[in-house]
Structures are given as C-alpha cells and as structure tokens.
Structure 1
Amino acid sequence: MSIEELYARPAHLIRRAHQISWAIFLDECAEFALTPVQYAALVAIQAYDGCDATRLSSLIAFDRSTIGSVLDRLEKRNLIIRRPSPTDRRQRLISLTQEGKDLLENCKEAVERVQNRIVGVLSREERETFLKLMKRIVHLNNDVTSAPIRPMPE
C-alpha cells in the first residue's frame, strides 16, 4: 500500500478527523478547561439528572472502567455532585452543581464555534450529507465498540 492509499482509507480519515475535532475543541474551549468527554458527560448529566456512572457511560459511549476518573475531575472542580442512591448503596447518583450548570451555559458559544470550524469548510449541502452519512456509520456500527451508546428507556 502506498502512503497516498493509506491517506484515502476510511479508518485513517476518521482517526484524523477525530484528532482535528479534538484539537479544535481544546482550542475553542481552553478558557473553560474542558475536554470533549467532560463536556459530553455534563450535557448527559444535565439531561438525565440523577443517573449513575454506568448509565452515563452508556449515554455518551464512554468506557465504563474510565468514566470514574472523568467524574472525579468534574467533582474536584465542583461541577457535579455524587450522592448515594436511596435504593442501592452501591450506586452513586450524579447531578450538576450550579457551577456545572453555569459552565454549560457559558461555554455554549465556544462549543458552537467548534462545530462550525469542523464542518464550516463544507458547503451547506456537503455538511448535511456528511452528517447524515456519519450518523449512519456510527448507528450501524454502534455494537462493534466496547462502549456502545445505550439510550435511556423512555
């Protein structure tokens, strides 16, 4: 395989797109000292107040064995609070603190800039096609990963 062929392979392109999106996120959100995974966790906790770490990891497709360290960092920054479940002592229920809610509100514009920088190089039609196809690829391959998205039951 030539290097040009490597550069054209889907896996290589997806890896590069991930690197680029991560770099853009860190650049735009530097003032908030927030990573993409931390942001996703905060959004999911806001949407599902009182979820536990296992459910959170399923909501954001993040490995269960490492979600604890993400939560530790968010808790140290006073962005979340974890409290024991009244029905299961092994579970700790997660909620946003007011500081966590404020951070999500304050970083909205920066996160929007991230999205615009990532796909802003495409025309409107290309963006729609790209997002439609990426959603399809992710949805159809969800179960091949060790951390699939598992939405909360309605």
Structure 2
Amino acid sequence: MKPEETIDFQIKFAWQYISRFYNDIAAKYNTTWASGNVLLNIDLQNGTPATALGPKMGMEATSLSRILKNLESKGLIVKEPHPTDKRVVIIKLTAEGLEKREEARQAVKAFNNHIMSKLTPEQLKTFFEVIQIIVKEIESKNIRIHAPGKILL
C-alpha cells in the first residue's frame, strides 16, 4: 500500500495544508494559527482554566505555556486566580483579545463555508460519519497493530 493510499496519510496531508492556510492568514495579523486557536477556545463569559485548554486542544503543556505567555505579552489575555481554588489560573480575553478572537472566528467560518460550498450535503454527511468512525475506533483502543511476532498496540 502506497502512503498516499492510506487514511492517515490523507488526513495528515489535508491538515498540513489547512494549517499552512491558517498560518498564512494569521501571519498577516502578526500572529500564528496556534495563537488564534487558543483564543477560540477561551470561554467568552467566564474564561477557561489554563489546565483545561491543553486537553481541549490536544496541545502539550509546554507549547500551550509558550503561547499563553505570548498572548499575555501582547495584551490579548489576562490570567486571574480562580475565585474559590487559588491553585487554578483562569485565562480571560481582553478587549483586544476579543477582537483577535473574532478575526480568527471569521477566518474559520470563511474557510468552512467555502469548503462546504464545494460539497453536496451527502458528501458532507459522509465525511463527518467517516471522521467519527475513525475517532471512535482510536478511542476504543480496539485497533491492534502487529509486527512480526509482536503486538505493538
């Protein structure tokens, strides 16, 4: 089987193109897609605990810490102590952070609207069904990967 004939190759290949597309847009605003993605995942009303952002986005703590530090230095977020648990830091958007979040949201909407306009409702439904199957199979941990004489997963 050639790499380009595998499901994981196609997903990774598409994601690299999507990521590059978003980074090109973000660069025009002197930021990165990762920063925009963090802004999109912060609750508008209550903020979001810093410890909840990483898992929510599938991001490692060190990468997230670097992005949060950068966003804070640009005045896009503030860190506040949790009202009842002082060990928890809540990340909140500033007024400028709300503006940058909206710019990121508009970019995501425009991208999705454009791609969706190229698909039939049936194609879109099938796409979501296939992605959900892939995620469920990975989450179930029922996929067994075998090498000669060994089970790797």
The verdict on a shared fold, with TM-score over 0.5 as the criterion, is yes
1:74 to 71, 76, 88: 71
Unaligned runs of 5+ in 1: 145-154
Cα distance per residue 1:50-96 (max 9 Å; x no partner): 32221111222222332111111111111110123343443221101
Alignment of 1:1-150 (within 5 A): 5-47=2-44, 49-118=46-115, 121-142=118-139
Label 1:40 to 1:139 Cα distance change in 2 as closer, same or farther (>3 A). Answer: farther
**Counterpart of 1:40 in structure 2: which amino acid?**
N
- Tell me which moved more, 96-105 or 58-67: 58-67
> How well do the aligned residues superpose, as a CA RMSD in angstroms?
2.6
CA distance in 2: counterparts of 1:141 and 1:47, whole angstroms:
31
Equivalent residues of 2:35, 2:67 under 8 A apart = yes
Label 1:78 to 1:51 Cα distance change in 2 as closer, same or farther (>3 A). Answer: same
- Tell me which moved more, 79-88 or 7-16: 79-88
What is the CA distance between 1:143 and its match in structure 2? 7.3
**Counterpart of 1:82 in structure 2: which amino acid?**
K
Unaligned runs of 5+ in 2: 142-153
Label 1:26 to 1:82 Cα distance change in 2 as closer, same or farther (>3 A). Answer: same
% identity of equivalent residues: 28
Cα distance per residue 1:16-40 (max 9 Å; x no partner): 0110110121233433334333223
Equivalent residues of 1:79, 1:100 under 8 A apart = yes
- Tell me which moved more, 80-89 or 54-63: 80-89
Label 1:13 to 1:54 Cα distance change in 2 as closer, same or farther (>3 A). Answer: same
Label 1:130 to 1:65 Cα distance change in 2 as closer, same or farther (>3 A). Answer: same
Higher Cα radius of gyration = 2
Cα distance per residue 1:100-140 (max 9 Å; x no partner): 11122234332222224555543342122112321332344
The residue aligned with 2:151 is none
Equivalent pairs counted in the alignment come to: 141
Q: Secondary structure at the match of 1:46?
A: coil
Equivalent residues of 2:36, 2:104 under 8 A apart = no
